[in-house]
Amino acid sequence: MTWWRPAVQGIAVTLIAVLLVLLAWRLIDDGRGNGLAKAVAAGRTPVAPDFRLPRLDAAGTLGLSSLRGKVVLLNFWASWCVPCKQEAPRLEAAWRRWRAHGVVVVGLDAQDFRTDAGRFLQRHGITYPNVHDGPGDVLGRYGVSGFPETWFVSRSGKLVVEHVDGPLTSGQIDRDLRRASRE
């Protein structure tokens, strides 16, 4: 009756080995299969993937393509993200400093509850446009692997700069908005 034990153990070991290989591949690939981050890091400017999502701050929807002709700071965030809480006031300050210069700050809340996101915006006094992507469908198109993550989009709709290393400083925001404005 114990003849099946080695077979079950073999299957279990094989399954664990397959899962470890998949995990290693995922860590090496770092979730950026679409190549946008690699292209931007190499100095290329790919077109920003378009989206149309419901707004958190107003009625209706907002599409990225409707902002062509403006520089866009696109910030991926979630209400439960601690670094996002640190970054929010800096983004609001940048919005107030730069909006007269044809810049739009857009927050894209993902993997979050709409009510939690709304409370986050109120708590931090956020006035720049924000959209809601509850399930995070747009994340994969940008290769977003964590929060916060910020992309800078030129007036022609091209991705210019990406930041994934925690909350942005005011100096980084200003530097990258100037760069995106020149593209």
Dihedrals phi, psi of 161, to nearest 5 degrees: -140, 145
Flag whether pLDDT at 2 surpasses 80. no
* Domain ranges across the chain: 1-30, 36-182
Cα 15 to Cα 2, 9, 22, 165, distances in angstroms? 21, 10, 11, 34
Flag whether pLDDT at 27 surpasses 90. no
3-state SS assignment for residue 16: helix
pLDDT of residue 29: 45
pLDDT band at residue 19 under the 50/70/90 scheme: low
* Amino acid identity for residue 152 in this structure: F
pLDDT of residue 32: 42
3-state SS assignment for residue 167: coil
| The token pair that represents 171 in the structure block | 């100096």
Distance spanning both ends of the chain, measured CA to CA: 72
Q: How many helices and strands in the chain, by DSSP H and E?
A: 6, 7
Q: Report the distance separating Cα 52 and Cα 65, nearest Å.
A: 8
Q: Quote the pTM value.
A: 0.81
Pick one of 2.30.110.10, 3.40.30.10, 3.40.50.720, 3.10.129.10 as the CATH number of 36-182. 3.40.30.10
Q: Which has the closest alpha carbon to 87: 107, 115, 64? A: 107
Q: Which of 17-21, 27-31, 60-64, 87-91 has the lowest mean pLDDT?
A: 27-31
Flag whether pLDDT at 58 surpasses 70. yes
pLDDT of residue 73: 97
For the segment 75-81, the average pLDDT, to the nearest whole number, is 96
State the DSSP string of 88-145.
HHHHHHHHHHHGGGTEEEEEEEESS-HHHHHHHHHHTT--S-EEEETT-TTHHHHT--
pLDDT of residue 33: 42
Q: Which of 23-32, 75-84, 115-124, 132-141 has the lowest mean pLDDT?
A: 23-32
Cα 52 to Cα 21, 55, 132, 171, distances in angstroms? 36, 9, 10, 30
Flag whether pLDDT at 30 surpasses 60. no
pLDDT of residue 173: 95
